[in-house]
Structure 1
Amino acid sequence: MGIEFLVTSFIVTASPGTGVLYTLATGLSRGFRASIVAAFGCTLGIVPHMAATIMGLAALLHTSALAFQIFKYAGVAYLLYVAWSTLRESGTLKVETEGEEHSAAKVTVTAVLINILNPKLTIFFLAFLPQFVSTDEAHPVPRMLELSAVFMLMTFVIFVGYGLLAAAVRDHVISRPRVLTWMRRTFAGAFVALGAKLAFTNI
């Protein structure tokens, strides 16, 4: 495993995207523990894309315009739903106190769906992983699984870092309702922007 793979993986995972935004929003609104759950869910959402790539299913999205469009617009619709729920008081950026219980399953499902409904991730794996598997590799599948595991571990660690950062400033957000309002609008706008970017993505 070369340094090129690690550097590329770091750049990809650390770059702001839907998973990063959701983890940050969760850390700000529900605290560090919830952000870990969100980070785990986002990491888990990588598994279907990894499996699709290794099994060759990503080729279907890459060659079938209809399949790609259906998958893409499902992702766009979900991102718009997340944006709408973020604007609501009961949505993604609802601030909760430590004593309030929140369903870890709900946070996990939302995080998983955010990453699953992103065909760009599958296409990324299709273009990314093969570059680091030698053409004369005797066992390419185990090698791809190894690289994918490292990518997922890096994703989880970096997302937890984002969650820790968000949780660290959480008290300042809670004590300033106006700041929370503007952050809610900012996150909602960011989800809409990412949805728009996905909508105009071609194979």
Structure 2
Amino acid sequence: MRKLIVTNMISLDGYYEGPGNNVMALPFDEGFSEYNAERLRAADTLLLGRATYEGFRSYWPPIADDTSQPPVEREISRLNTAMDKVVVSDTLTPNQTAPWNNTEIVKRADAHARVAALKESPGKEIIMFGSHTLWNDLLVAGLVDELHLMIGAGVLGAGTRVFEGPAPVRLRLLESRTLPDSSLVLTRHAPAA
């Protein structure tokens, strides 16, 4: 069975993004990109919500050929573009996926069943970045196998809280460590049950 791995950065005070949905308020560093590339190498399916998908689709494709970008960023671009993508959205249409034509669109009402089917299918890990609303829902539904949080040394004071859900979820710590050459602390969690 394939694992669904959710990977995100959060602030020290528990925010997923700053005020006004500003993810750039988070304290990114080189360790963030290196860890994301590591996760992408272990996966063959990228699962995203619509807003994250649209942001990634507009940002990542041209990075691969931009020689001014660090090699790790160019690798992330190539990996994102090459792998199959599944986006959960009730509004996105197939003619809105270019240049990422290897994208499957799943209606929100069908998301749990489709994710469960993806996990049962052969392949490598399913990776999820961003997509806060979707992964919180999948976590409560018991469909997330691991939650990888990179905790940055920054306090935002406001924004979008990391956890929002109708029910509490008990997690167990699998690992915690500082990422190499980084100020980010990685914590890996799995559902307690």
TM-score by length of 2: 0.25
Greater helix fraction, Structure 1 or Structure 2: 1
Max radius of gyration: which structure? 1
TM-score by length of 1: 0.24
